[in-house]
Structure 1
């Protein structure tokens, strides 16, 4: 019998999480099957994933109707049904989280704060606390965007012992600032004499969207041979930052008290350019102490024809040179990553608004939306 290709990735020190959730995948036993057969070790969700789940099935209708009678807002209705799904998924992943070798190494399920709060630090902190309490599971991660406003929210949440999945990271500078926020949050806990070992975080670095935006510029600048390489080069450089930041004396003091590094998580790993292999962003970045969150179609593709091997640390000098050539050609990566962050917020705001509209339409079917 052939070894499952997805499961093999784990042999190289990388955890595979599923970038998808809905009630059907939980209730049907399909998610449990993926935990067993593919070695899936966590789940990530976002507003677009929930919008699709709620709008494209009747699985949530009865809950929405019942919640609507209590007079709460449409956003509160959404979070109530989302929290219910997240709790069930957390229970499914509890054995993974509770593995004896390293308790809390994996088994996390992520739930995102409202994307409408991406630029509001205090509202983000408030909702992160609320969702953490409502889910009330040690293996939930609250997703907070790595915007400038998100940095203080991340540090605060970590200092309070809330697991955080930092989302929407595109730039190396911002990634380093996020790692700094994580460390600062742990230092606050240490100063207060609080335990560090049960606090966990990942920094979600988005990939394919970088290439989608940069590749047309490369063509214009006569650098067409670098198409599809900038995102991977950026990720490899982020990993070099990760290794540096989590090997300092400052970090070692926290590690001695039980702190675990904030792992890099590769997100947006489906190939959006049909010219590229559909498993490209998974294969290129397999390496130790990292996570890759994979959409269902990419998971199936990798299971069928993926090529598992450790490549993340291949030729970091070459990766640095690719980014240098891009800058030398006059492509401003700071501007590119700023644009990607703004677009990323909008890409979550729109489905979230669509979701609230769909709930409104269901509650009041005669309302024109």
Structure 2
């Protein structure tokens, strides 16, 4: 019989007795709009919400929750997939933040937060991460927003700078204790930076998202492989299955306790600073041989958060066991880690791999998310979007698809837009890429083109003939083939030769008195 069926206290609400806040690792528009999110707050004591690219991919890429807004936006403007996603996501985050705001007020800014992640593409870019964190903070404009920043080597300085700017930060993708120590140091130093400038450190919140179950997945796979091969330490190895991740988390908490008891922290606390709480992430059980609430039951302790996926949230409500497990048997946790080292289970190596995999996984999810948004955008715009389909032989198409996928995985298109010369020889190629900005530059001066367009139409030109060679003609030819002729506007011809016969052929196609001539020279001296 479950805790709820027996008439007992809701285990999710009981977590508060031990100082832990349950957050939900999920966001979706319908969940907020239909009252489901508020119901979790009222009935289960929900204290916060986290999101990530994979969660948004499922929310936006499936179903019709967002179709009405997408249609409405596209009726007035055409955005790229990234800008359209952000518009949708910001609306979702704001709506969830409004639901959670009473919790924020009741807990005096300790809980009630909703997290929005910076672009996963910036995980290795300190400057870009900070810039995006500040931009998203301003765009959402909610006091109970947390900006998620990955705890990579490049992310840590951005965390310090963002805290110093007064942002609430959720540091994600933490697996190792060493990485966590750097993040906690960044938080404290960021607060000290503010204090040193005479600025307030009150009501600035941060959590360090320490991932759990993924560690056991990696470690247990190595254990199972060695046991299957008849390892001489098979019995000792099997005894560690499902235990390393929780032991690792307990050691991170022990470090947190030591730091928050220090004179250095006391000075900040006296000035009104909140401690950066450890948040247990990736707490859904992957191995079906373990309890489905293993990573909630086993990590309950003061001033911590557990961000729980919906299925695990429901399971813990049903049969979770609430006890101060985080501070129990710490010596046992130390022995687990010592035994793992003795047996050659490379926890440090595993955590490093998991960071790289996490960065790649979120980038893949973001690619899928933007692809889903772009597909919906194209479907809704229909004939408003000009598209061409190039049919290639099957073997060539396969090679093209493979190369496109390789570029996607490596983020090469983003590197082009960042003017990254290492895509070529790493020398002066970046200086060749001014053309990438041409569209933005010209859109800024759109009125002059609209005026010229109106003049051409008013004067009744039936044709336009561009005279140019090489680079001066190839681009216009692509445009002519891509966009074709539109009703009420001239037909674009391109003459790229001084051959008399070709000149004569074009002369026959046009009425010179009704033709706009464009002389094009890329170099300026043709």
Partner of 2:301: 287
Partner of 2:364: 350
- Per the TM alignment, residue 73 of structure 1 is displaced from its structure 2 partner at its CA by 2.2
Matches within 5 A, 1:260-279: 260-279=274-293
Matches within 5 A, 1:154-233: 154-219=159-224, 220=226, 222=234, 223-233=237-247
Partner of 1:92: 99
CA deviation map 1:181-219 (0-9, x unaligned) = 000100000011111011100000001000000112234
Unpaired runs of 5+ in structure 2? Answer: 1-6, 227-232, 390-400, 402-526
- Per the TM alignment, residue 328 of structure 1 is displaced from its structure 2 partner at its CA by 1.6
Check if 1:112 corresponds to 2:126: no
Q: 2:61 aligns with which of 41, 51, 55?
A: 55
- Per the TM alignment, residue 303 of structure 1 is displaced from its structure 2 partner at its CA by 1.0
CA distance, structure 2, for counterparts of residue 64 and residue 238 of structure 1: 43
Task: Report which of the two structures shows the higher radius of gyration computed on alpha carbons.
Answer: 2
Partner of 2:35: 29
- Per the TM alignment, residue 345 of structure 1 is displaced from its structure 2 partner at its CA by 1.1
Check if 1:254 corresponds to 2:259: no
Partner of 2:522: none
CA deviation map 1:257-313 (0-9, x unaligned) = 101100000000000000001001000001111000001100111111111111100
Partner of 1:4: 10
Q: What SS class does the counterpart of residue 103 from structure 1 fall into?
A: coil
CA distance, structure 2, for counterparts of residue 53 and residue 71 of structure 1: 22
Root-mean-square deviation (Å): 1.4
Check if 1:336 corresponds to 2:350: yes
Bigger shift: 34-43 or 217-226? 217-226
Q: What SS class does the counterpart of residue 155 from structure 1 fall into?
A: helix
Bigger shift: 174-183 or 218-227? 218-227
Check if 1:364 corresponds to 2:378: yes
CA distance, structure 1, for counterparts of residue 52 and residue 167 of structure 2: 18
- Per the TM alignment, residue 332 of structure 1 is displaced from its structure 2 partner at its CA by 2.0
Which is bigger in relative contact order (C-alpha 8 A, separation at least 6)? 1
Q: 2:127 aligns with which of 114, 122, 127?
A: 122
CA deviation map 1:309-363 (0-9, x unaligned) = 1110011111111111111222222211010001111221111101101111112
Partner of 1:324: 338
Decide whether the 8 Å contact of 1:64 with 1:359 is kept in 2.
Answer: no
Following TM superposition, the consecutive aligned residue runs of length 4 or more in structure 1 with deviations greater than 4 angstroms are 366-369
Unpaired runs of 5+ in structure 1? Answer: none
- Per the TM alignment, residue 2 of structure 1 is displaced from its structure 2 partner at its CA by 2.9
- Per the TM alignment, residue 4 of structure 1 is displaced from its structure 2 partner at its CA by 1.2
Q: What SS class does the counterpart of residue 142 from structure 1 fall into?
A: strand
CA distance, structure 2, for counterparts of residue 199 and residue 301 of structure 1: 32
CA distance, structure 2, for counterparts of residue 331 and residue 226 of structure 1: 10
- Between the two proteins, the alignment pairs up a number of residues equal to 367
Decide whether the 8 Å contact of 1:113 with 1:124 is kept in 2.
Answer: yes
- Per the TM alignment, residue 104 of structure 1 is displaced from its structure 2 partner at its CA by 0.4
Bigger shift: 51-60 or 202-211? 51-60
Q: What SS class does the counterpart of residue 285 from structure 2 fall into?
A: coil
Alignment TM-score, normalising by the size of structure 2: 0.68
Q: What SS class does the counterpart of residue 364 from structure 1 fall into?
A: helix
Q: What SS class does the counterpart of residue 147 from structure 1 fall into?
A: coil
Partner of 1:299: 313
Partner of 1:103: 108
Q: What SS class does the counterpart of residue 285 from structure 1 fall into?
A: coil
